Copies of this chain bind each other. A is one copy, B any other.
Amino acid sequence: MGKYVFGVDVGGTYTKFGIFKDRKLIDKWKIDTDVENCGENILKNIGREIDKKTESMGVLKSSVEGCGICVPGPVDEKGLVRGCVNLGWGYKRAAVELENITGLKCAVLNDANAAALGEFDFGLGGEYDSAVMVTIGTGVGGAVIYKGQVLSGYRGNAGEIGHFKIDPLNGPECSCGKKGCLECYSSATGIVRFAYENLEKYPDTKLCIIENFTVKDMADLASEGDELCKLAFDRAGKFVALGLSFMAGAVDPKVFIIGGGVSQAGDVIFEPIRKYFKQFAFNTEEETPVLPAKLGNDAGIFGAAEFILKRRI
């Protein structure tokens, strides 16, 4: 059994790499993701980076236990990537292809699942046995860890809290092609849109004097007491809490972990999430703690590396 593991987080813009020894991150770096020609070079480029790193460190491939990669799309129970729009990929047996390129044992999982596994094993420090993680950023993603392992679901869609329908008949159109999804309301995009739509009702808001304001501006103003910004986060938190209550009713995890850019707003978003969750949750589910994520952008490489050492359920 080798000592080194690679964790690779393939995004639409950057591909992030980590090399781990005895489950400790010893180096990390990133390259641009080449999405030209249906992303045909993505795996070759990963292979090249692994070769360069092992050579520069004088590490033999025989002392590398494997390479885990995570991708922004559904990955089913058998490791089949079922399409990644941002990478230009259709269905792809990415792990098998990367094994042929690198000669290493490889495994692939969804990026939200990887982030959750990373946060679960490294961020929480082993105190919990099950968790649901929600990432609130440009969109809203989610993942389920059960008994310490990724619960990916039959078609790779488990944990997709962002597409829980809040108002499926009359809500706004979502990028998924359906209506009224949670991420239309609670993502950074949804929070900013709500503020724009309600600017006229709140003439005193300081947002009026910021050109092209961001969710970060809104978080700062909410902390200072700006009514519109507070309302926008309260509303976003309410719908996240509703989504958490469905997750609790489905899998009853020991803990919730909230990450992503919007979670950086701190109490402004965590207070409404916790308040409404208690209101919406059934029975003892309301005791479930709602904790902030700790690893930030590195969660994916930690989780991808960890996945090599774990069985999927």
Contact = CB atoms under 8 A, between A and B. Distances in A.
Interface size grouping (class) on chain A:
35 or more
Interface in A142-171: 144, 146-147, 151-161, 163-165, 168
A155 B242 contact: no
Interface string A27-40: 00000000000000
A144 B282 contact: no
Interface in A241-259: 242, 245-254
Contacts of A164: 245-246, 249
A212 interface: no
Contacts of A56: none
A129 interface: yes
Most chain B beta carbons < 10 A, residue from A154, A157, A248: A154
Contact of A163 (B159, B181, B282): B282
B242 A250 contact: no
Nearest to A152: B252
Interface string A45-75: 0000000000000000000000000000010
The complex is assembled from copies of this chain, and their number is 2
A250 B82 contact: no
A155 to B, nearest CB: 4
A3 interface: no
Contacts of A146: 146, 151, 313
B284 A160 contact: no
Given A147-B313, A153-B253, A251-B153, A283 B245 contact: no
B254 A154 contact: yes
Contacts of A26: none
B252 A250 contact: no
Given A164-B245, A165-B242, A279-B178, A251 B151 contact: yes
- Which 8 residue pairs across A and B have the least CB separation, nearest first? A153-B252, A250-B250, A163-B282, A246-B246, A157-B252, A158-B252, A154-B254, A160-B249
18 contacts: A74-B283, A130-B153, A130-B154, A146-B151, A147-B313, A151-B251, A153-B252, A154-B288, A155-B285, A156-B252, A157-B282, A158-B252, A164-B245, A165-B245, A168-B242, A178-B282, A246-B250, A250-B251
